[in-house]
A and B are shown apart, each in its own frame.
Chain A
Amino acid sequence: MPTLQKTVIACATVVLGLLVPGFGLAAPYTPAQRDVVVETLPAIDPAVSEQVQTLHRRLAAAPQSVALATELARHYIDLSRQTDDPRYNGYAQAALRPWWEQPQPPTEVLMLRAHLLQNRHAFDQARSDLQQVLERDPRRAQAWLELAAIERVTGSLENAHKACAALLTLASALISGTCLADIASLTGKGQGAYATLDRLLQTASADAAPGLRRWALTIQGEIAWRLGQPALALQALEAALELAEEEGVFDGYLLGLWSDFMLARGQARPVRKRLAPYAHSDALLLRYVIASKRLMADDAIAMADVLRRRFEASQRRGDTVHQREQARFALDVDEQPAEALWLAQHNWAVQKEPADLLLLLRAALAFNPAAAAPARAYLASTGLEDVRAEVLIERLDQLDAAA
């Protein structure tokens, strides 16, 4: 997809082309000359930009048209996904304004609203929107898939499994199989899930969309890492990254996962190198800062400061979508275990992915071993196999044994 490639390149250019004082207390200033460039606007593919403008004009003439509004919103959601810029999500929401507060809006609106709500971590509302869609149309594969993702993130693995199972007759084997394998791996069936993904990737090679393969490989890498197979994990993640590069797609989740894997193996240098162009993304800047701190790089302190200011800005808005990153920042960068535990506990109340579990265990180990109880209970009830968690539990047990 050359359009995406262009967007990504343009995005990197924006990052590189900026001449803004980076940190310290900002104060209003008056530029010395008229030709000083004060801001570089994001580049959007002219064709997309044209389409968006046209849609805005047509929508202005017919503000009650669901078709036009959802088309416009979909364009913005795509832009947000490609550039990792949440502003476009706000534009998408504004396009849906006439229906946004309705309890039973049209199905297309429900789908988009669920996506936008999920993005803001309003998981309960997003779930109920998707359930409404599925009541109207139980054969809607995309809704099952997004529902599975929400149930997975919030730790309702049984519901996630049901949603994945519904895909068996509605979507390709690669989609339903990856969805199911992912959930199976979180409930103590990691080995089987890994083998299933291997088989799916082999049989589906010819016609499968690269995005789907990338997703399956990402899940496979995660599973292998949890099972204590770093060589296999690296292989899968590298293959996924290669696909992303071929497609010219920005995959923030994959980059973050790969970085965590490398950092866990003590490889900070490649992380710094690969993430350098993505400092606009808070989650990736976090990994960059951790790597820089470990290497005692020149910019470690300054970049940590940039990230701290971004967290502050998001806090002023009242957003809590960064709690996971903030907890990790407190733990690994600021080395403030009390604060890290507080954040990790609040994050755990919302999100229950393996990454959230590890964070809670690590913060508990650093500040109060008793606080690991909910994580232990979760491990026991789900049967999740995760060598990283096991190591932490062992250390907590040693503390307990001493007590």
Chain B
Amino acid sequence: MVAGTAQAHKPSDSYLQFDVAGQTIEGRWDIAIRDLEWQLGLDQDADRRVTWGEIQDREPAIAGYALAHLQARMDGQVCDLSAGSLQIETHTDGAYVSLPLSGRCPRFGTQVQLQYDLMFDRDAQHRGLLRIAHRGQVETAVFTPTRRRQVFDLRETRATRVAWQYFHEGLWHVWIGLDHLLFLAGLLLPTVLRRQPGGFQVAESPGETLRDVLFVVTSFTMAHFVALSLATLGWLTLPSRWVESAVALTIVFAAMNNLVPVVTRRLWLVAFGFGLIHGAGYASVLSDLGLPPITLALALLAFNAGVEGAQIAVAAVTLPVAFWLRRYRWMQWCVLVPGALLVAWLGVLWFLERALNQTVLT
């Protein structure tokens, strides 16, 4: 298909990148040739084909037009921006003129103010997409007809905002993942109560249970963090179908282990192994964020804190109840056993659905 090279039909954007260091500004500005055509009439022979020559001939006009619609100030003092040699850059909707920018501000300050006015008179849905870096921190912003001026504090950190956002995401992802919750329940129950040949073994002291739970949850989360980090950074890519199937198997195992104990000691080791699998299952969530490394690390940490928080919340609600009821026979025979069987059965169904691509159950 030739359309492999097809332009998307999408609204108009320009892409602006700035690096601020001390008094100097370096950057690049990509503006769609289609958008410049309207203002400058680049296609001089009107054959609808814009050649590199036609662009080179108008280089001063292009740079002049662009710079007339962008202003940078540092603490209110206008910085002197100039354009370097034009190049061409391809975005999803076609070719752009890529304009290298460099500038120097009269004095060092704590704030950068940018004023952007490109194209708005012509296209009210035009957006200027900005990425601005200073001291390793990156911020993004969007210029719109009603938000043409944006101020960036060179001291402010966005860290708390990013952290909060991803903490929230982490909570949400545990919450919508029923399999995650069931798995956790299966894994944590044996710290309170577990079947053994000839009867049930119940936990003796709350302190011991608490310690076991913390061990399990923490090692699970650490492994989750490791796998998720590797997957997000692209160092580990597994086919999602395999991972999803493996997650289902871990559910079966966790549930069955309550009935026919295979692993009774060092449960946290199992939790660690399973954490790796579950973490890989969430790989898609954070990838392709385009965040800089430091922010990405923060996002990952916050996301995992969210996951851990949600897990602790679930454990905090269910385990005291389970602990309180652990000695009752009905709890053992009417809740634990059928519950474990049910979770195992669900796990099997999930496994079949995922491994065989949803053809079994129809």
Contact = CB atoms under 8 A, between A and B. Distances in A.
Majority DSSP secondary structure for residues of B touching A:
mixed
B221 interface: no
Contacts of A306: 4, 6, 92
Interface string A319-337: 1000000000010001111
Contacts of A94: 120-124
A366 B358 CA distance: 8
B142 interface: yes
Which residue, of A43, A303, A336, has the highest number of chain B Cβ atoms within 10 A? A336
A37 B94 CA distance: 12
A334 B129 CA distance: 27
Contacts of A22: 4-5
A39 B33 contact: yes
Majority DSSP secondary structure for residues of A touching B:
helix
Contacts of B93: 313
A42 interface: yes
A214 B197 CA distance: 71
Interface in A297-324: 299, 302-303, 306, 308-310, 312-314, 316-319
A169 B288 CA distance: 53
Given A100-B124, A368-B179, A279 B3 contact: yes
Size band of the interface chain B makes with A = 35 or more
Which residue, of A33, A38, A310, has the highest number of chain B Cβ atoms within 10 A? A38
B142 to A, nearest CB: 6
B114 to A, nearest CB: 17
B8 interface: yes
Contact of B9 (A23, A87, A96): A87
Contacts of A23: 4
B98 interface: yes
Interface residues of A, number: 86
A89 B125 contact: yes
Contact of B126 (A83, A85, A90, A100): A90
A85 B93 CA distance: 11
B210 interface: no
Contacts of B5: 18-22
A340 B51 CA distance: 42
Contacts, number: 226
A42 B34 contact: yes
Given A335-B241, A341-B176, A368-B179, A330 B125 contact: no
B55 A38 contact: yes
A84 B240 CA distance: 34
Contacts of A33: 52
A382 to B, nearest CB: 24
B9 A336 contact: no
Given A90-B11, A313-B91, A317-B129, A15 B2 contact: yes
Contact of A402 (B51, B124, B345): B345
A32 B288 CA distance: 32
A339 interface: yes
A337 B284 CA distance: 10
B358 A365 contact: yes
B7 A367 contact: no
B127 A38 contact: no
Contacts of A19: 5
B94 to A, nearest CB: 6
A35 B51 contact: yes
B124 A90 contact: yes
Interface string A61-97: 0000000000000000000000111110111011011
A388 to B, nearest CB: 12
Interface of B: 1-13, 28, 30, 33-34, 37, 43, 48-53, 55-56, 85, 87-95, 98, 120-127, 129, 140, 142, 145, 172-173, 176-179, 240-241, 244, 281-282, 284-285, 288, 290, 342, 345-346, 349, 353, 358, 361-362
Closest 10 CB pairs of A and B: A279-B3, A90-B125, A34-B53, A93-B124, A90-B123, A28-B87, A279-B6, A31-B52, A336-B284, A28-B98
24 contacts: A15-B7, A26-B90, A28-B28, A31-B52, A34-B51, A34-B52, A34-B56, A39-B49, A41-B49, A86-B9, A87-B10, A91-B123, A93-B123, A97-B145, A278-B3, A306-B4, A316-B13, A316-B140, A338-B177, A338-B284, A342-B172, A368-B179, A370-B178, A399-B349
